[in-house]
Structure 1
Amino acid sequence: MAGSMKLSTLPILLLLITCLPSSATGSQDQESFLYTGFAGSNITLDGAATITPAGLVKLTNESFRIKGHAFHPAPVRFREAPNGTVRSFSVSFVFGILSSFGDIRGHGFAFFIAPTTDLSAAFPIQFLGLVNATNNGSATNHLFAVELDTIQNTEFGDIDNNHVGIDINSLNSVESNTAGFYNDDSSSREDDGMLTNMSLIGSGPIQVWVEYHGESTRINVTLAPLGVAKPARPLLSTVYDLSGVLTDQAYLGFSSSTGLSTGHHYVLGWSFGMGTPAPVIDPTKLPKLPYLGPRPQSKLLEIVLPIASAVFVLAVGILAITMVRRHIRYKEVREDWEVEYGPHRFSYKDLFRATKGFKDKNLIGAGGFGRVYKGVLPKSKSQVAVKRVSYDSKQGVKEFVAEVVSIGHLQHRNVVQLLGYCRRKGELLLVYDYMENGSLDNHLYGQLQGKATYLGWRQRFRIIKEIALGLLYLHEDWDKVVLHRDVKASNVLLDKNMNGRLGDFGLARLYDHGTDPQTTHVVGTIGYLAPELVHRGKATTLTDVFAFGIFVLEVTCGQRPIKEDPQGNQLVLVDWVLQNWHKGSLADVVDAKLQGGYDAGEACLALKLGLLCSHPFPQARPSMRQAMQYLDGDVPLPELLPEHFSFHMLALMKNESKVYSSAMPSYPSPMMTSFGSISDFSIHGR
């Protein structure tokens, strides 16, 4: 009796198992899965991808230059044994591409198999969120994809703006064709087997079958409108052994992106089978694509429309003039080589709107190399500083932009982030993070936004350390050596917490560690230029150290590097400090605005380090790592003779280059000199 009861319950259990939701099988059986809608599924998403309330995977939206990915949550084993051949597999999915702007096309959509779910390095726009300009075509991608592309990109050899392609490690397809299907069931014998073209965008749901045969290594890709039986003849068919492409375990997923045009990319259903056909997707169980078309017209609109048409005829002329003016206003300079810098290029329209047309009320700074404006980007609402720099388009613009984009990868808390650039006519626009408290020189010498400013010693000494850390990062701790070439107080910016950040990389240059920099012309600011830079025109890390030394003296003394006295004579800050050193009155050089409220030991250290870094001989200056050790108190400063400073500084200021060159070999290392009078240095304060 008990045995008969067990047998009778078996069909009921089988029935219950077969009635489980299809999405549940997707997370438990790695040999096959089936999704008829994605509501409640544990599918993995990143970027702009979301699951709509109706149960569709929505990869993109109306945002520009975004990417979205959706992955089956667990990897699939494609080989029966490690390093074996890839087994046969079959994939089927239903997708739809919609546009809110009719036939205006955004970028396309792709199904792919990849070894990882981390595609953060991939670019949007024409790269479809799969690769970037550097790794496109690299065998290390281990990428197999089927692209359904709605824009023709000549750089990838696209055949048209409505095609399907088989991609191996690259967006240059190994096989492609215009989107369509072979009409096997046509009632007309003349049409039987003919290709019926269809648009990938706006045609409603489309079903795709991707099949790989392990023995023959043949790849077939077939398309048809949802509800049409799978055609017997595939749209694409090619032989390619995926055993040299796919890893033992890999992830299946979808990817899409937008550029300057946008679109909505949806996945309605998805199935997969390893060694067997992919499970059949039941169209009746799939969620519906949303409607993005125009709303039905009202009766009132039908009455108003004829009147509006008459007004339109009058307005079209005004509109044409406005469009021409807008085109001239926002016209940019774009060349083919700039496509690889896409994510770092801002549109002039966005920068024009961000700064309210570069109005003077948004002007926050001006100098010999450009004017700086405050702005708010229209989409992200983030505050930025936009610097307009004039340039000669015939002289090294490609190399300059390449360096700007590379410097944009700098990431350090004491370096202002360079976000990107824009080119327009004869000017280059550099976009930085906005620093709320402006530049350091405004706090040292003037007023900021109509309010008197005061910097205490503790803030000044902290800022000196922060700029030293920023320069150390540029010179030694990044993957390339960056020469800033314009270190000065006006290029030190203060964030909302009054932390110092080194900014304005418009003159910066970078080169590989261990190589010799090739800059051969003098740029920078008078008063901060190292003697060897003036004489030989060659910038190095030690010329940055020289400028840093002047900067340290400037912050400590509250005096500009060069100024005029009431009689019109030029006073050099270094000479003034040296003169007081000789007279034994170094306490007199500390900024009087501090009113004795400073740490005597730190002020002494700052003055010593400023003189050492601004030494006339480059080999006598410390590196930025040594300077940081001195500031932290990890290493004591070397002692120096004031006579060496004063003699050579005065000679150099008089341009007596013969004295400089002849004296240079006989100067001893600063670590070997003695400095008896420096021990008598006395500063009174807290």
Structure 2
Amino acid sequence: MGSSLGCCDSEKVEEAGFAVGGGNSTPWRIFTYKELHAATNGFSEDYKLGEGGFGSVYWGKTSDGLQIAVKKLKSMNSKAEMEFAVEVEVLGRVRHKNLLGLRGYCAGDDQRLIVYDYMPNLSLLSHLHGQFAGESQLDWKKRMKIVLGSAEGLLYLHHEVSPHIIHRDIKASNVLLDSNFEPLVADFGFAKLIPEGVSHMTTRVKGTLGYLAPEYAMWGKVSESCDVYSFGILLLEIVTGRKPIEKLPGGVKRTITEWAEPLITKGRFKNLVDPKLRGNFDENQLIQTINIAALCVQSEFEKRPTMKEVVGLLKGYEPKTKPMRLNSVRYGEDLMSLDQASDENSDINEDESSVYGVFGALESQKIHDPYKRYGDRRMNRNL
């Protein structure tokens, strides 16, 4: 195929709803495989930053001294090809301080690699549950900065870029942290565009169990509100230091909303705070943040705020929300048994085979398909 944008051929890109070469002035370029091979010391295991269902990510240093992170896809089927084309195109067009931009890519005959700027503090996941969790680098102020920055990145995707973009995989491992702990939302391989006038799309379910909105998990209905739900789960995770799904003694698994619901109902907000903070937090900010999370994870999508409203609440531009009840959505046992997010050797589940296409077991509190009330009259697309 050659080392050009030929990998993202026009048919695939048009099918994804993009035009090649989105209008972003952020500098990026096409790398050769030889350059990236040299930068990563032959994709050495010692340079590997992480690994998932998509492939591996490596640290590297270019000949001119630039530190980079290189995502190396492990398979090149049509599905992987599409996700590569989508991520390159989305990254090439978005420009916001809280979104990880594109440094470049490589598309050889049998290789697909995406190049980003290296983030020295890795991901939010690594600080909450991974290799840096014991160092307690995330004080309350840093956590609130991460919350607001991530929200502003999503606001840009939902309201400021055209067409609007739904991320579809908001989670702690996809929030990267620069040297100043400024958050950058990353990984746009599952992103969807919402054309003007379209309220939602019906699509194949992708994402990570624990973060998925019920209407998306059960019926494949994806909208900007799905990202809002995922962001609400992320808020709870940042404040509490708990995983979206945790394993209890005896192998039973519990979602973060199931754990938090009784504490929020009783107003025991202090009991929600990550013990690693050792009581150093702003109580008013805590209550407001928890209430925003509760608003975001409501089971009925139309009751959730927009990201514009979320950012307003976080900045205090909107009236303080009153303490509210959190109505958690519970995953069925069959689905929970497939989840590996809380297994001892896995910080988060990246294996596609265990999270895609198995949502028939998801149970909720008598939730009916909310879009049926509209008869799907609004330009619903099956993608």
Question: TM-score of the superposition, structure 2-length normalised?
Answer: 0.77
CA distance in 1: counterparts of 2:115 and 2:234, whole angstroms: 25
Aligned to 1:645: 327
Tell me the alpha carbon deviations over residues 281-301 of structure 1, each in whole angstroms, 9 at most, x when there is no partner.
xxxxxxxxxxxxxxxxxxxxx
1:163-174 equivalences under 5 Å are none
Q: In structure 2, the residue corresponding to 1:415 is in which secondary structure? A: coil
CA distance in 2: counterparts of 1:357 and 1:473, whole angstroms: 37
Aligned to 2:367: 660
* Structure 2 CA distance for partners of 1:608 and 1:408, relative to 1, 3 Å: same
Tell me the alpha carbon deviations over residues 103-160 of structure 1, each in whole angstroms, 9 at most, x when there is no partner.
xxxxxxxxxxxxxxxxxxxxxxxxxxxxxxxxxxxxxxxxxxxxxxxxxxxxxxxxxx
Q: 1:585 is matched with which residue: 268, 277, 282? A: 268
The reply on whether 1:373 has 2:80 as its aligned counterpart is no
Alpha-carbon distance, 1:575 to partner = 1.0
Q: 2:198 is matched with which residue: 504, 515, 532? A: 515
The reply on whether 1:433 has 2:117 as its aligned counterpart is yes
Aligned to 1:614: 297
Aligned to 1:603: 286
1:288-327 equivalences under 5 Å are none
Asked if structure 1 preserves the Cα contact closer than 8 Å seen for 2:218 and 2:362, the reply is: no
Aligned to 2:45: 360
Tell me the alpha carbon deviations over residues 437-490 of structure 1, each in whole angstroms, 9 at most, x when there is no partner.
111111122333x97243111110111000000111111112321221111111
Q: 1:422 is matched with which residue: 99, 103, 106? A: 106
The one-letter code matched in structure 2 to 1:570 is: K
Aligned to 2:150: 467
Asked if structure 2 preserves the Cα contact closer than 8 Å seen for 1:446 and 1:452, the reply is: no
CA distance in 1: counterparts of 2:251 and 2:94, whole angstroms: 43
Asked if structure 1 preserves the Cα contact closer than 8 Å seen for 2:219 and 2:369, the reply is: no
* Structure 2 CA distance for partners of 1:398 and 1:439, relative to 1, 3 Å: closer
Alpha-carbon distance, 1:517 to partner = 5.6
CA distance in 2: counterparts of 1:347 and 1:536, whole angstroms: 42
CA distance in 2: counterparts of 1:399 and 1:517, whole angstroms: 20
Asked if structure 2 preserves the Cα contact closer than 8 Å seen for 1:413 and 1:501, the reply is: yes
Q: 1:492 is matched with which residue: 141, 162, 175? A: 175
Aligned to 2:88: 404
Q: In structure 2, the residue corresponding to 1:375 is in which secondary structure? A: strand
The one-letter code matched in structure 2 to 1:492 is: V
1:73-88 equivalences under 5 Å are none
CA distance in 2: counterparts of 1:572 and 1:616, whole angstroms: 14
* Structure 2 CA distance for partners of 1:663 and 1:499, relative to 1, 3 Å: closer
Q: 1:570 is matched with which residue: 250, 253, 256? A: 253
The reply on whether 1:349 has 2:9 as its aligned counterpart is no
Alpha-carbon distance, 1:395 to partner = 4.6
CA distance in 1: counterparts of 2:267 and 2:65, whole angstroms: 55
Tell me the alpha carbon deviations over residues 252-280 of structure 1, each in whole angstroms, 9 at most, x when there is no partner.
xxxxxxxxxxxxxxxxxxxxxxxxxxxxx
1:331-350 equivalences under 5 Å are 335=6, 344-350=29-35
Alpha-carbon distance, 1:421 to partner = 2.1
* Structure 2 CA distance for partners of 1:615 and 1:370, relative to 1, 3 Å: farther
* Structure 2 CA distance for partners of 1:500 and 1:382, relative to 1, 3 Å: same
Alpha-carbon distance, 1:369 to partner = 2.6
Aligned to 2:344: none
The reply on whether 1:386 has 2:89 as its aligned counterpart is no
Alpha-carbon distance, 1:424 to partner = 4.0
The one-letter code matched in structure 1 to 2:181 is: M
Q: In structure 2, the residue corresponding to 1:436 is in which secondary structure? A: coil
CA distance in 1: counterparts of 2:371 and 2:77, whole angstroms: 40
Aligned to 1:528: 211
Aligned to 2:350: none
Asked if structure 2 preserves the Cα contact closer than 8 Å seen for 1:355 and 1:373, the reply is: yes
Query: Unpaired segments of 5 or more residues in structure 2?
Result: 11-19, 22-26, 334-360, 374-383
Asked if structure 2 preserves the Cα contact closer than 8 Å seen for 1:612 and 1:622, the reply is: yes
* Structure 2 CA distance for partners of 1:560 and 1:615, relative to 1, 3 Å: same
CA distance in 2: counterparts of 1:578 and 1:359, whole angstroms: 45
Aligned to 1:103: none
Aligned to 1:502: 185
CA distance in 2: counterparts of 1:399 and 1:592, whole angstroms: 39
Asked if structure 2 preserves the Cα contact closer than 8 Å seen for 1:558 and 1:591, the reply is: yes
CA distance in 1: counterparts of 2:179 and 2:288, whole angstroms: 28
Alpha-carbon distance, 1:348 to partner = 1.2
CA distance in 2: counterparts of 1:337 and 1:446, whole angstroms: 34
CA distance in 2: counterparts of 1:413 and 1:551, whole angstroms: 19
Asked if structure 1 preserves the Cα contact closer than 8 Å seen for 2:28 and 2:103, the reply is: no
Greater fraction of residues in helix: 2
Tell me the alpha carbon deviations over residues 161-213 of structure 1, each in whole angstroms, 9 at most, x when there is no partner.
xxxxxxxxxxxxxxxxxxxxxxxxxxxxxxxxxxxxxxxxxxxxxxxxxxxxx
The CA RMSD measured in Å over matched residues stands at: 3.2
* Structure 2 CA distance for partners of 1:537 and 1:636, relative to 1, 3 Å: same
The one-letter code matched in structure 1 to 2:155 is: L
Q: How many residues align?
A: 332
Asked if structure 1 preserves the Cα contact closer than 8 Å seen for 2:32 and 2:106, the reply is: yes
Tell me the alpha carbon deviations over residues 620-642 of structure 1, each in whole angstroms, 9 at most, x when there is no partner.
11110000000011112544752
Higher relative contact order (CA 8 A, sep 6+): 2
Aligned to 1:551: 234
* Structure 2 CA distance for partners of 1:396 and 1:433, relative to 1, 3 Å: closer
* Structure 2 CA distance for partners of 1:639 and 1:355, relative to 1, 3 Å: same
* Structure 2 CA distance for partners of 1:443 and 1:650, relative to 1, 3 Å: closer
The one-letter code matched in structure 1 to 2:249 is: P
Query: Unpaired segments of 5 or more residues in structure 1?
Result: 1-330, 667-686
Alpha-carbon distance, 1:616 to partner = 1.1
Asked if structure 1 preserves the Cα contact closer than 8 Å seen for 2:3 and 2:107, the reply is: yes
* Structure 2 CA distance for partners of 1:565 and 1:656, relative to 1, 3 Å: closer
The one-letter code matched in structure 2 to 1:645 is: N
Q: Percent of pairs identical after alignment?
A: 36
* Structure 2 CA distance for partners of 1:594 and 1:406, relative to 1, 3 Å: closer
* Structure 2 CA distance for partners of 1:485 and 1:356, relative to 1, 3 Å: same
The structure with more radius of gyration: 1
Alpha-carbon distance, 1:511 to partner = 4.1
